[in-house]
Structure 1
Amino acid sequence: MGRRESLPEVKKYSGVEVRGKNIRIKFVWPKGAGKQQRITLKGMDVNDKNMKYAFNKVQSIKREIDLGVFEWSNHFPDHPLAKTELKANAGYTVADLLDDYLKEYARSRKEGITLDNYTYRAEQHLKPYIGDIPVNDFKTAHVVKWATQLGDKNVSRVTLKSYVAPLRAAFKWARQNGRISNNPFVDFEWPEETRAVKRKQAEKRKQKRLDVFNELEINALVKHCKREQEANIIQFGFWTGLRPEELFALHWEDIDLVSNTVLVNKAKIYRRGFKVIDYEVEEREEIKGVKTGELGEREVLLLPGALQAIQAQRQWTATMRKFVFHNPWWNKSWTNTNQFANRFKECCLSAGVRYRRPYMMRHTYASMMLKHGEDEGWVARQMGHVDTTMIRKVYREFIPDADHVNGYRLKNDWSISGTNN
């Protein structure tokens, strides 16, 4: 009987392991992505000679990866990544990459509105300019040139970043999955904005400054709205501090007239880039959770002004639809902030009140509560903030010097305010 051959010592062959009767090598690909690839070397017996061969192959692959010249097809022509690599070498374009990313990854992992926006930007902005460029030939210089041209047309950097977002995500995804060996966006820097763009941005910031309404203006607005349903949503917005998209998504089941509270747990978002035709809102609406990074779901106390608006709205929608507030022009729920802003502007003109964007209703609510001495912590919770940091940062000019109280009890009799006279 012959002597049994001992198995080779695996420890001395870094990157090589034995699995049953097979030798398997392992290495990290792509470089820096931290994803370990394991490849079984078929048809090789487990012995010292083959283990040494496998070890040398691993070292060769690692050197090529470090130099940026590694190609799957040179080492493992039957591997799925080699086929993807060959496809890229055969004319795999930026347009192809965007299509694969949106189809294989984004469709199952991105929110519907994000997927719609990515698709729209890819089709309308990216493919027409850089879609025909082979992925292997693509450089960020192509994006810089394109961004510079758009910047000369007064397109801001914020807008440009939204245009390029799906492209950056696609290259990152392809790099992590080994479809490409290099992500050109790693060291990417945006070109400097033109003076015209900077002036435009400064003007926008000026328009967004805290420019709240006073109680006389609120009452005048509500009184002079030509349609009662518009008056109701405006009065409710001023006396709850809900964001416009939260007002649009409000359902009657969220209203509790026993405890005088409203549950805020969703927002209605408009799918930008895709038109809503014939105001078929309920078929095309996007309902999602409230703003990320804040308190999320919350209960808001209905002050008398808000209660009055809800009671007045009951006759219009309580038995008709699930949404509380409707656009009276079509008797359907509100679609988006632009649609609402047009009606809000009309009410301002009728009342002789200087127009500010509808979001200022939320700022007005917070400033009004704080100015009259309501507790900062309570106001923060009503607004949906996790703490008072944002309250003190944004509304510090309205916060009086006063001791805070634990728990909460309204300091003012709000029943004398906010009524529709």
Structure 2
Amino acid sequence: MERQGRYQAGTIEKIKTSLGPCWYIRFTETNGKRPRFRIGLLSEYSTEAKASRAAQLLRDQFNGPGIEKKAARTFGDVIDRYEKEEMPKRYSTRRGYSQIHRNHIRPKWGPTPLEQLDAMEVRKWLLELDLAPKTKGNILGQMRSMFRFAMLWKWIPASVNPMSLFTIPGVTKRRRKPRVINASQFWQLMNGAPLFLQTAMIGAYCLGLRVSELFALQWQDFDFLEEKVWIRRAIVESHTGEVKTERSEAPLPLAWEVMEAFLSYYHSVDLKEPTDWVFASPLNGGKKPRDSRGIQTRDLSPAGDKIDLGFNLGWHTFRHSYKVLLERAGADLTVQRDLMRHADTHTTSQVYGEVEFDRMRTSNNKAVALAFAEKQKCPGIAQGSL
């Protein structure tokens, strides 16, 4: 048998026989002939990937000891190169992708040769995972991206991406309704809280800021004359970077009540330079913002328990609650989208178009008025520093 001078992985074929469908592997000889060798019946190896693994002995026998085998690329190799060269720059996104790789994809598929990774097996694995549909969708999205890059690097032939052959049911649906608080509960949380925390909660509840944006605010981001605040950066685990999306950088209107709260806080702190953090940590001379996670653990969650919320209060609860305020204020879906600064219309609703800033201000003012209407029912707050 005249063999090629390079290692051949062979081509897997499924052929009908008198015994039923059967798997074969073909190789190419120097004379152009392509002999095939039997692997086994479909009843023995239910997928092409399983048949390919079973054919390894045939490969070794055909290639012989004199031919140096080129190591097959595994999905773990793809993950390694992707993490080195193609990961997004935004820290929180990189962190999330790395967790998906480390916790899910690499343990299951890391050792698998690229050519043997079967879409049906991946689909079955994903559907059986005890995870939210959205998380499964994120895992599939990462595998799809890495297959695309493997084709770009010419590690596998450019063809239909096998991870695009199926979807995850319910990926756009929430497993449970978002936790929200009402205005009365908000002011109960405010009652007795230190001034910095009161101000932070107003920023979260009355502006709908993400916690990464809230604690990345600097005094230069506020234009008190124009009654606006600019969201220019985000901070996650002490890493300062870009905001989540381009839309997230849009300015937000400051209602009078919100502006008064931040001005009151401004006059109470020592660090007032434009580049000083609004919620500067008292440690290290305010070089870093306060630790939002620590505040949630030490202050927010216990405060929620104290007023019997019935769930674990987190910073994102305020953002969900702000959307409810906008709905109660009668803001249309397009205005809601721009005030929430969602990346695309699907996040809020299927609505397109930009919104004039005046309409955003009007809706925000109405929402804040609804929030502050309950203030008088909390005497400790009504007579306090805010």
Q: Give yes or no for TM over 0.5.
A: yes
Q: Does 1:255 align with 2:234?
A: no
AA aligned opposite 1:347? A
Preserved CA contact (<8 Å) 1:262 1:302: no
Q: Distance between the aligned counterparts of 2:189 and 2:116, measured in 1? A: 59
Percent identity over the alignment is 18
Q: 1:306 to 1:375 in 2, by over 3 A?
A: farther
Q: Distance between the aligned counterparts of 2:104 and 2:163, measured in 1? A: 21
Q: Deviations over 1:293-341 (max 9, x none)?
A: x464213224224422442254346348722125679975245568636
3-state secondary structure, aligned to 2:86: helix
Q: Distance between the aligned counterparts of 2:86 and 2:141, measured in 1? A: 12
Q: Structure 1 residue 205: deviation in Å?
A: 4.1
AA aligned opposite 1:343? D
> Given the alignment, which residue of 188, 191, 208 partners 2:178?
208
Q: Distance between the aligned counterparts of 1:386 and 1:139, measured in 2? A: 33
Q: Distance between the aligned counterparts of 1:146 and 1:390, measured in 2? A: 28
Q: Does 1:359 align with 2:312?
A: no
Preserved CA contact (<8 Å) 1:236 1:306: no
> Partner residue of 2:40?
none
AA aligned opposite 1:126? I
Q: Structure 1 residue 254: deviation in Å?
A: 0.8
AA aligned opposite 2:72? G
| Aligned residues between the structures | 298
3-state secondary structure, aligned to 2:207: coil
Q: Map 1:42-61 onto structure 2 (within 5 A).
A: none
AA aligned opposite 2:185? E
3-state secondary structure, aligned to 2:261: helix
Preserved CA contact (<8 Å) 2:232 2:243: yes
> Partner residue of 1:349?
305
AA aligned opposite 2:299? R
Q: Normalised by the size of structure 1, how large is the TM-score? A: 0.55
AA aligned opposite 2:113? P
Q: Does 1:188 align with 2:165?
A: yes
Preserved CA contact (<8 Å) 2:137 2:168: no
3-state secondary structure, aligned to 1:258: coil
> Partner residue of 1:222?
190
Q: 1:250 to 1:358 in 2, by over 3 A?
A: same
Q: Does 1:98 align with 2:79?
A: yes
Q: Structure 1 residue 208: deviation in Å?
A: 1.0
Q: Structure 1 residue 180: deviation in Å?
A: 0.9
Q: 1:236 to 1:180 in 2, by over 3 A?
A: closer
Q: Map 1:133-282 onto structure 2 (within 5 A).
A: 133-149=112-128, 151=129, 154-181=130-157, 182=159, 185-186=162-163, 188-189=165-166, 205-208=175-178, 211-214=180-183, 216-225=184-193, 227-268=194-235, 270=236, 281=238
AA aligned opposite 1:362? R
> Given the alignment, which residue of 243, 265, 275 partners 1:289?
243
AA aligned opposite 2:190? V
Moved more, 126-135 or 180-189: 180-189
Q: Deviations over 1:333-391 (max 9, x none)?
A: 24556863663222233455565543343344454466456798776654446999987
Q: Does 1:323 align with 2:277?
A: yes
Q: Does 1:333 align with 2:289?
A: yes
Instruction: Pick the structure with greater CA Rg.
Output: 1
Q: 1:391 to 1:111 in 2, by over 3 A?
A: closer
Q: Structure 1 residue 257: deviation in Å?
A: 3.0
Preserved CA contact (<8 Å) 1:241 1:383: yes
Preserved CA contact (<8 Å) 2:208 2:322: yes
Preserved CA contact (<8 Å) 1:375 1:408: no
Q: Normalised by the size of structure 2, how large is the TM-score? A: 0.59
Q: Structure 1 residue 126: deviation in Å?
A: 2.5
AA aligned opposite 2:254? L
Preserved CA contact (<8 Å) 2:245 2:343: no
Q: 1:267 to 1:372 in 2, by over 3 A?
A: same
Q: Distance between the aligned counterparts of 2:220 and 2:177, measured in 1? A: 36
> Partner residue of 2:253?
300
Q: Structure 1 residue 258: deviation in Å?
A: 3.1
> Partner residue of 1:34?
none
Q: Deviations over 1:88-126 (max 9, x none)?
A: 9532222222223333x405x654443443344334433
- Extract unaligned runs of 5+ from structure 1: 1-85, 271-275, 395-404
Preserved CA contact (<8 Å) 1:94 1:133: yes
RMSD across aligned positions (CA): 4.6
